[in-house]
Chains A and B, each alone.
Chain A
Amino acid sequence: MSPPLLTSAQMASFVARGFLRFDGVVPDEINRQFMREAGPIPEVQDGVRIRKLYGEALAANDIAEAPAGTPLSEVYAPASALGRLLDLPVVRGAIESLVGDKPVFDHHFLHITFPPAYHAAGAGENLSQHTHQDSTIDPRTAFDLQIMYYPHAVTREMGGTRFIPGTHLRKVSEVALGRYQNMRGQQHMVCDAGTLLFLHHGIWHGGGVNLSDRTRYMFKIRMHASGPQTWRWDLSDLPPPGPQRPIFYRKSAPEPNTVATLLTTPEPWFEQDTGRLEYVNRIRLWRYLSEDDAFDVDYWMTRLETGPR
């Protein structure tokens, strides 16, 4: 049976904001199985640094390592928690919509964020992670998908992943942007157990500082398409190409949740001039996904591409 694919509105939101969030979609039984497979964290030990405990935890857990370039379908045993998670219809449908039905595994990682007592015992500072973009400068229009899995409930005190919607189309060099401590519109993952965050690989993010007395887990899986990344979602809600909308001088608010409106909705951190370039780059990404070089919203591209009339 075919999984439920993303709608055009969800795709446009992903193109514009770089994320889709699915709250509590992983059943508790899978979450509990994952926590068993991830294994326990050793007790706090005076004089023992977190790096050592982390290494021991990764070596001892039941999550297998896998080479980059492996078909995603071969990475996890079907009966494992992650194998079952990836087989959930909502997960299969979202993956297929974004990177096709035969994605290729890049890497995965178990992120563990320790409570203050562990830092104190190891004489380390308890700090949030600097905001960064994963991997390195990536000039592609194509994108990789990163799935963040939260196997237990995350409170604000526990930190959670911090991310800034709409930053994914900027071409930066990893943590070169670490100076930006805070940005308007930043979000912190506070969620129920079994929540998934689907991210464009370029989104700026970082791990929050854990101020609670509980260890926090997050599991990330990165994958890329093995074939065309175009026209993969559910197109049934996509209206046929129509005339452009009136721009600037409008007598009513634009219709909400249309592709055009979603692609031209600013983020709170947008600069006034480069915010318009963000629209241009969103339109370019939509053109790539829809194989439509004539697609435009509010004349942002047409104005630049039109020769002498």
Chain B
Amino acid sequence: MSGQAKPALRQKVLVLYLANSALDSPTVAWAVYDGTGETLHMAGDADEPPYASGLAALRDGWRLFQASQLLPHARGEEFDLAYLKYEFFFEQLAEVAP
């Protein structure tokens, strides 16, 4: 047995908001959270998205782990708008030094 410590894993999270429920529709908003600490992202730090669509993120190795549901519109509230509707969470696992 080697005494060498195993690298630890950290999660990088990418959140994309798309123009409709299709993963290949255009990105309209986004967020990045980097659990490795290598990069720090914050509100207003980029005016262009990291990926043009959800499919582009998949092709670059991001793994989809959550997508927003499509819900019917409550009667009387059909025109009420609040939060962005088409939210997709992706992750990558990255090794960091123990």
Q: Is the CB of A278 within 8 A of B43?
A: no
The interface size of chain B toward A, counting residues with CB under 8 Å, comes to: 28
- B58 interfacial contact with A, CB 8 Å: no
Query: What is the minimal beta-carbon distance from A269 to any residue of chain B, in angstroms?
Result: 4
Please choose the segment from A26-34, A70-78, A169-177, A249-257 that sits at the chain B interface, where 4 or more of its residues have CB less than 8 A away.
Answer: A169-177
- B30 interfacial contact with A, CB 8 Å: yes
Q: Is the CB of A186 within 8 A of B47?
A: yes
- B9 interfacial contact with A, CB 8 Å: no
- A131 interfacial contact with B, CB 8 Å: yes
Give chain A interface residues in 206-226, CB to chain B under 8 Å: 206, 208-209
A174-213 CB mask vs B (1 if < 8 Å, else 0) is 0011111111101010000000000000000010110000
Q: Is the CB of B84 within 8 A of A271?
A: yes
Query: What is the minimal beta-carbon distance from B56 to any residue of chain A, in angstroms?
Result: 15
Q: Chain B residues near A171 (CB, 8 Å)?
A: 80-82
Q: Chain A residues near B29 (CB, 8 Å)?
A: 180-184, 269
- B46 interfacial contact with A, CB 8 Å: yes
Most interface-central of B19, B43, B44, B45 (chain A CB within 10 A) = B44
In the bound assembly, the distance between CA atoms of A183 and B27 in angstroms comes to: 9
Q: Is the CB of B81 within 8 A of A182?
A: no
In the bound assembly, the distance between CA atoms of A180 and B49 in angstroms comes to: 12
Q: Is the CB of B79 within 8 A of A178?
A: no
Q: Which of B17, B28, B45, B81 contacts A169 (CB 8 A)?
A: B81
With A182-B49, A278-B81, A280-B79 given, is the CB distance from A271 to B43 under 8 Å? no
- B25 interfacial contact with A, CB 8 Å: yes
Q: For residue B87, which residue of chain A has the nearest CB?
A: A179
Interface of A: prevailing SS: loop
Q: Chain B residues near A206 (CB, 8 Å)?
A: 43-44
Q: Chain A residues near B25 (CB, 8 Å)?
A: 272
Q: Which of A129, A183, A271, A277 contacts B86 (CB 8 A)?
A: A271
With A179-B15, A184-B49 given, is the CB distance from A268 to B42 under 8 Å? no
With A269-B29, A273-B20 given, is the CB distance from A182 to B45 under 8 Å? yes
Q: Is the CB of B81 within 8 A of A162?
A: no
Give chain A interface residues in 264-295, CB to chain B under 8 Å: 268-274, 277-278, 280-281, 284
Q: Is the CB of B85 within 8 A of A182?
A: no
- A128 interfacial contact with B, CB 8 Å: yes
Q: Is the CB of A131 within 8 A of B81?
A: no
In the bound assembly, the distance between CA atoms of A23 and B18 in angstroms comes to: 33
Q: Which of B30, B32, B42, B83 contacts A177 (CB 8 A)?
A: B83
A-B CB contact pairs (8 Å), 11 listed: A128-B42, A128-B44, A180-B43, A181-B43, A181-B46, A182-B45, A271-B18, A277-B81, A280-B79, A281-B79, A284-B79
Given contacts A129-B43, A182-B46, 9 further A-B contacts (CB under 8 A): A127-B42, A170-B81, A176-B83, A179-B15, A181-B41, A184-B28, A270-B28, A273-B85, A281-B79
